[in-house]
Amino acid sequence: MNPTVELITKMADDALIIGHRHSEWTGLGPILEEDIAMASMAQDKIGHALALYTLLQEHFAGPDPDTMAFSRKPADFRCCHLVEHPNGDYDFTLMRHFLFDHAEWLRYQMLRQSSFAPMAHFANRISGELKYHILHANTLLQRLARGSEESHARLQAALNDAFPLAMGIFEPGPYEQELAGTGVFAGEEILKNRWFLEVEHRLLSWGFQVPALSDAPAGWGGRKGYHTEFLQPLLDEMAAVIRSQPEASW
Amino acid sequence: MVTEHIKQRTPVLSLQAVWDALAQVHDPELPDLSIVDLGMVSEIKVNDNRVQVKIIPTYTACPATALIQLNVAEQLRGLGFAEVEVLRDSQTPWSSNRISESGRKKLQALGLAPPPQFDSPWTEQTLGQATCPFCGSNDTHLHSLFGTTLCRSTHFCTGCGQLFERFKPL
Ligand SMILES: [Zn+2]
C-alpha cells in the first residue's frame, strides 16, 4: 500500500467509526444539550471521514467513499480498538471522546505542514471545527470532575479502561519511516508524546490519577486489520440500509 | 482580492450579472442568506460565454454544499452561459469572518446573533462574549457549544431571561 493511503485510511476509519458510536447517543443523551452535542460531533466526524475517503478517490484512484464505508470487510479497516468499543455509560463515551479528540486535533496540527498538499489544506480547514470538539470534552470533563464523589470516581474508572485502548491510536504503521522521510507525517511516536503532555496536565489538574504511557500492545492490532469483536456488528448496522437496497441511488 | 483583479479585465456587466445570480442562491439552512452574504464565493472567471465559479464549503459536514453547487450551476446556466463550471475551493478555509455586513444584519433579523469578528485563532473568550439578538444585552453566557445546526451555539441572556442562538465563530 502507498504510505499516504495507509495514513489517510486509518484516519478516515477512526473518524467514521467514532462518528457512528457518537451517533448512537442521538435521542438517548443524558440531557438535551449533550444529545445535540454528540449528534453534531457525529455529523462532523462522518463528514471528515467522507472528505478523507474522497481524497483517496481523487488522488490515489481509490474506491468511491460509499464502498469504503459500507462494503469492506473488517480486516480491511485500519481503525484503532478505542473507537470500536461500545459506548458503555456516558462516562466512558466522554473519556474516550477526550482522549481521542486531543490526539486527532494534534495529528491535524502536525499535518498542516504535510508535504502532501491536499492533506495540509484539509488539516487547515477543519482545525476550527475540531476545536469545538476539544472544548466540549474539556468543559464537560472539568465540570464532572468537580461534580461529586461519584462523578469523579466514574470518570477515573473510565480513564483506567480507556487509557490502555488509547495507546492503540499510536500503534506504529508499516510506513513510519517513509512518511517521516517524505515529510507527509512526522510519525506516531512524536504524536503520542505530544498527546501525553496535552492530556496529562489536564487530567492531573482535575484530580485524576493518570496511567503511565506504555508501549504495551493492549490496544494494538487495529492498524494491521485485527479488530475487536465489536467492529463487525457495528459495520453490519451501518450497512443495513445500503444492503437492503443495493441498487438504490441516493 | 481575486475578484477585484478580475473586475479590471472583464466586462463589468457580465461579472455583475454573475454576482447578482449568485446572490439568488441561498443556504437551505439559512434561507434569508445568500452564498454571497456568507462569503462562500472565492473566485469568478468570466470568459465570453464561459464562466467558472469557485465555492468555499462552510462546515466540512454541511449537508447543503452539494445542493448549493447544483443551484449555482443552474443559476449561471439561466444567464445564458454556454459553459458553466462550479468548483469546490478546497484550499481556502472558510471563516465566519467572511460573512458580509448585510449577511450579519440578516442573521440579526432572524434572531440569530452574528458571529464575532476575531483575529485568528479565536479563543474560548471569543465564544463567551455574545450580544442578545432580542434585547441587545451583553450580559449573556455560553449555554452550549452546539445548537440546532452545526454552525450554531446556544447562549443564555440574563437581560431578558431567554435562550438564543448564535452563528459560531469559525
Ligand atoms: Zn436578551
Taking only the tens place, the pLDDT of each residue in B36-80 is: 999 999 999 998 889 999 999 999 998 888 899 999 999 999 998
Between the CA of B165 and the centroid of ligand 1 the distance, in Å, is: 11
Residue length of chain A: 250
H/E stretch holding B64:
none
Whole-number Å distance between alpha carbons of A122 and A113: 11
A62 or B64, greater pLDDT = A62
Q: Where are the domains of chain B?
A: 2-88, 96-167
DSSP state of B98: G
Q: Quick one: closest CA in A to B57, which residue?
A: A125
Domain region containing A155: 3-244
CB count in 10 Å sphere of residue A235 = 22
Among A101-115, A161-175, A216-230, B93-107, name the one with the lowest average pLDDT: A216-230
Taking only the tens place, the pLDDT of each residue in A80-123 is: 999 999 999 999 999 999 999 999 999 999 999 999 999 999 99
pLDDT of residue B63: 83
Reading the block at residue B112, the C-alpha cell is: 440569530
pLDDT of residue B13: 57
pLDDT of residue A159: 97
Pairing of strands B50-55, B83-88: parallel
Judge whether B124 and B74 are in contact, CB under 8 Å. no
- Residues pairing with B155 in the sheet: B142, B164
pLDDT band at A219 (very low <50, low <70, confident <90, very high): confident
Is a pLDDT exceeding 80 seen at residue B5?
no
pLDDT of residue A242: 87
- Residues pairing with B27 in the sheet: B30
Residue A51 with chain B: CB contacts under 8 Å: 60
State the smallest CA–CA distance between residue A242 and chain B in angstroms.
19
Q: Please indicate whether, in this complex, the C-beta atoms of A136 and B146 are within 8 angstroms of each other.
A: yes
- Residues pairing with B112 in the sheet: B165
pLDDT of residue A151: 96
State the smallest CA–CA distance between residue B48 and chain A in angstroms.
30
Per-residue buried b or exposed e for A130-166, using 16+ beta carbons within 10 Å of the residue's own CB: bbbbbbbbbebbeebbeeeeeebebbbebbeebbbbb
Q: How wide is the angle at C-alpha A224 spanned by C-alphas A218 and A225, nearest 5°?
A: 100
State the Rg of chain A over Cα.
Answer: 18
Please give the CATH architecture assigned to the domain spanning B2-88. 2-Layer Sandwich (3.30)
How far apart, in Å, do the first and last CA atoms of chain A sit?
31
pLDDT of residue B122: 87
Query: Going along chain B, which residue ranges are E strands?
Result: 26-27, 30-34, 41-47, 50-55, 83-88, 112-113, 140-144, 152-157, 163-167
Whole-model pTM: value is 0.92
Cβ neighbours of residue A101 under 8 Å, at least 6 residues apart?
A130, A133, A134, A137
pLDDT of residue B25: 96
Is a pLDDT exceeding 60 seen at residue A240?
yes
Q: Does A70 touch chain B (CB under 8 A)?
A: no
H/E stretch holding A203:
helix A188-205
Reading the block at residue B124, the C-alpha cell is: 474560548
- Backbone phi, then psi, for B113, in 5-degree steps? -60, 135
Is a pLDDT exceeding 70 seen at residue B6?
no
Please give the ipTM for the structure prediction: 0.87
Q: Please indicate whether, in this complex, the C-beta atoms of B150 and A131 are within 8 angstroms of each other.
A: no
Judge whether B140 and B121 are in contact, CB under 8 Å. no
A248 or A134, greater pLDDT = A134
Whole-number Å distance between alpha carbons of A187 and A178: 10
In a domain, A250, yes or no: no
Reading the block at residue A160, the C-alpha cell is: 483506567
pLDDT band at B4 (very low <50, low <70, confident <90, very high): low
Farthest-apart Cα atoms in chain B, separation: 57
Name the residue among B95, B122, B146 with its Cβ closest to that of A40: B146
Domain count, chain A: 1
**What mean pLDDT, rounded, does chain A reach?**
96
In a domain, A249, yes or no: no
Taking only the tens place, the pLDDT of each residue in B110-150 is: 999 999 998 878 888 889 889 999 999 999 999 999 998 99
Taking only the tens place, the pLDDT of each residue in A6-22 is: 999 999 999 999 999 99
Whole-number Å distance between alpha carbons of A109 and A96: 20
In a domain, A152, yes or no: yes
State the smallest CA–CA distance between residue B41 and chain A in angstroms.
16
Is a pLDDT exceeding 60 seen at residue A143?
yes
pLDDT band at B14 (very low <50, low <70, confident <90, very high): confident
Q: Please indicate whether, in this complex, the C-beta atoms of B144 and A33 are within 8 angstroms of each other.
A: yes
DSSP state of A137: H
CATH code, A66: 1.20.1260.10
In a domain, A90, yes or no: yes
Task: State the average pLDDT over residues A200-210.
Answer: 97
Q: Please indicate whether, in this complex, the C-beta atoms of B59 and A44 are within 8 angstroms of each other.
A: yes
pLDDT band at B1 (very low <50, low <70, confident <90, very high): very low
DSSP state of B33: E
Judge whether A170 and A191 are in contact, CB under 8 Å. yes
In a domain, A168, yes or no: yes
Half-sphere exposure of B53 (CA within 13 A, CB side): 29
